Amino acid sequence: MRRSIAISIAALLFSIAGVCAGQTTRATVPEQLTPTELRVLVACLSGDRDETRKDALEKLLAHGEAAETILIEKLPAVRNDADAAGRYQQILSRIDADRRVRTALAPTRVTVHVEKAPARTVFASLYQRAGAPSRVSFAPPYEAAGDQPVTLHVDNVPFWEVVRQLEKQTGLTLTSAGKEAAFAKPPPEQVPGPVAIHGPFMIVARVARGAPKIESIRVFLEPKVRLAWHAARIRVTEARDQFATPLVYPTSLDRSYLQGEVLDVGVPVETGNRRIVYLKGSVTAELIARLETVRSDELQCSIHFNDFGRRFSMRLFRGEAGHLLHLWQPPQWDDERDVAGLRPVLLDANQTPLPPSRRARAGQAWEWTFVPMTAAWGNRVFGEPQTLQMDVPVITREIEIPFEFDIRPVAKR
């Protein structure tokens, strides 16, 4: 009996050593570990050898949420070990980020039961349940939807599928009004383009009149989705003309930083006199999975932020055209993508938001210009700014939004 126990203990110790030393097989999809093995890996984060700690960190990052409960349980015990606590927090932060990205990329599912309700009211309710933020400048997409009665009964259906059903009933289509989206009646001459839905994104191909060809791509975002930037041109996987001949396309991508509810994306394919009738690819974008909002009532002095991994200073002053906000970026911010996700807003005494009208580089700083304080925007008049509010992205992830469009005529049998 004692010999049996000794052999079991030895086997367990050998297994623990193997887990810590990295003797498990590495694969693209990590093998499932038992709770005991996960606890061993967590313990290895405080190991004596650098290789042991690094290997445990990599494996726990690969297993994600499976180790979360154990990490939270054991974290208080390593508070006095700054290095080990840092590794615990690194893994927990990655788990949180991955969870938020998955949530952001999942389609919002909605339930709607209405009988002969005004279209505008139904669209408004749909958008609000899908996470539409409070608007600060432009009218919401459903503002011009009208009061045509609609009847709809759906349960737990993705947001864009419900929108498509309502479009079919009302004869409306979601279109681009600048960088904003709006429901409107399409002109008779407009050729409806094919539509692809991927998670919280609806991708629409713009098709030319006459001989059909794909001209450009539009991506509509669910209300909950926020992007820091997106590619100005699609990433092409395959493109063919009306003769089924492959078309040539470049591989380089340019970024676009003008944000809104619609992404207008170019198609970088050399066509000559040929027409694109088959197109497969994706749109690259930077998803904002988590925002933190910072506020300050001190507008006449420099404001310094050193939170969420960002460090910058700002100063607001009054110019001839209105209020100007200058942001000085750290030296390592050498690309517009570093400020693309920042959303500054001025608030007056009534907390009425004053959105910026434009953003531009000003020497070593970035400059936002706000409309004059007495100007009306819609039905609102803004008073003297009292508070600066800025949304700061703290979790972002580069993503690909895939699509495939085929407008080749179907051969008759």
- For residues 194 and 191, give the distance between their C-alpha atoms in angstroms, rounded to a whole number: 10
User: Is the pTM for the entire model greater than 0.85?
Assistant: no
CA 73 vs CA 28, 42, 92, 129, 391: distances in Å: 28, 10, 12, 35, 32
**Residue 172 pLDDT:** 93
The three-class DSSP label of residue 91 is helix
Q: What does the DSSP assignment read for 319-375?
A: -SSSEEEEEEPPTT--STHHHHT-EEEEEETT--EE-EEEEEEETTEEEEEE--TT-
Residue 46 has pLDDT above 70, yes or no: yes
Count of Cβ atoms closer than 10 Å to residue 34 Cβ: 11
Helix, coil or strand: residue 2: helix
**358-363 long-range Cβ contacts below 8 angstroms, 24+ apart:** 361/336, 362/326
**Which residues, in sequence order, are CB contacts of 377 under 8 Å at separation 6+?**
137, 354, 355, 371
Q: Which amino acid type is present at position 333? A: W
What are the tens digits of pLDDT across the range 263-273? Answer: 888 888 877 78
**364 alpha carbon, distance to own chain's centre:** 28
The pLDDT assigned to 9 comes to 32
274-303: pLDDT as tens digits: 899 999 999 999 898 887 777 777 765 555
Copy the structure tokens of residue 215: 């001209």
Contact 383, 350 (CB under 8 A): yes
Are 159 and 112 in contact by the 8 Å Cβ rule? The answer is no
pLDDT at 171: 93
Residues 6+ apart with CB under 8 A from 317: 300, 323, 324, 326
Torsion, CA 37, CA 39, CA 45, CA 48, rounded to 10: -80
* Residue range 198-235, pLDDT digits in tens: 999 999 998 887 778 898 899 999 989 988 888 888 88
Average predicted confidence (pLDDT) for the chain? 78
Give CA torsion, residues 307, 312, 318, 322, to 10 deg. -80
How far lies 101's CA from each of 96, 106, 168, 216, in Å? 9, 9, 31, 27
- Per-residue CA distances from 13 to 1, 39, 61, 111 (Å): 19, 13, 23, 54
What is the pLDDT averaged over residues 368-372? 75
Three-state secondary structure call for residue 15 = helix
| C-alpha to C-alpha distance for 314 and 229, rounded to whole angstroms | 22
- In tens, the pLDDT along 139-182 reads 788 888 889 999 999 999 999 999 999 999 999 999 887 667 88
What number is the average pLDDT over the span 358-362? 75
Q: Which residues contact 13 (CB under 8 A, 6 or more apart)?
A: none
Tokens of 382: 């803004």
As a whole number, mean pLDDT of residues 96-124 equals: 93
pLDDT the model gives residue 69: 83
